[in-house]
Amino acid sequence: MARPQKPRNVEKEVKFTCFKPAWVPRNNLEKVELQAWELEALRLSNLDELSQLEASKKMWVSASTFNRLLKSAIKKITYALVNGKWIRIYKTDGTGNCK
């Protein structure tokens, strides 16, 4: 049985939950799923330009966990952009409805 996940702090709530290539219906595209904390790791690292140690403290996770979240987010977004997939971002409460 997996260990329960520790709480992670996400300061900026997800506003937009779906991104896809223009003029292509979503049902013709493969989905890539991104969690709110992965997006938060990207934001803290790239927009706020915090070091991984500073950002990990803000998210209440270890530096190694922050690094894993950041690498996962970068890999998923790169895959989606290069291969023309749509990205679904889940909010912290687990929702992420795309209309």
User: Quick one: how far is CA 46 from the chain centroid?
Assistant: 13
- pLDDT tier at 93, thresholds 50, 70, 90: confident
User: What's the rounded Cα separation, in Å, for the pair 42 and 55?
Assistant: 10
Least confident of 5-14, 16-25, 33-42, 84-93: 5-14
Q: Specify the CATH number for the domain of residue 80.
A: 1.10.10.10
Taking 80 as the threshold, does the pLDDT of residue 21 lie above it? yes
Transcribe 33-92 into DSSP letters.
EEEHHHHHHHIIIIIS---HHHHHHHHTS-HHHHHHHHHHHHHHHHHHHHHT-EEEEE-T
What does R_g of the chain's alpha carbons equal in angstroms?
Answer: 14
- 55 in any annotated domain: yes
4 assigned to some structural domain: no
Q: What is the mean pLDDT of the chain?
A: 88
Q: What is the pLDDT of residues 22-67, one digit of tens each?
A: 888 888 899 999 999 999 999 999 999 999 999 999 999 999 999 9
The whole domain housing 53 covers 18-90
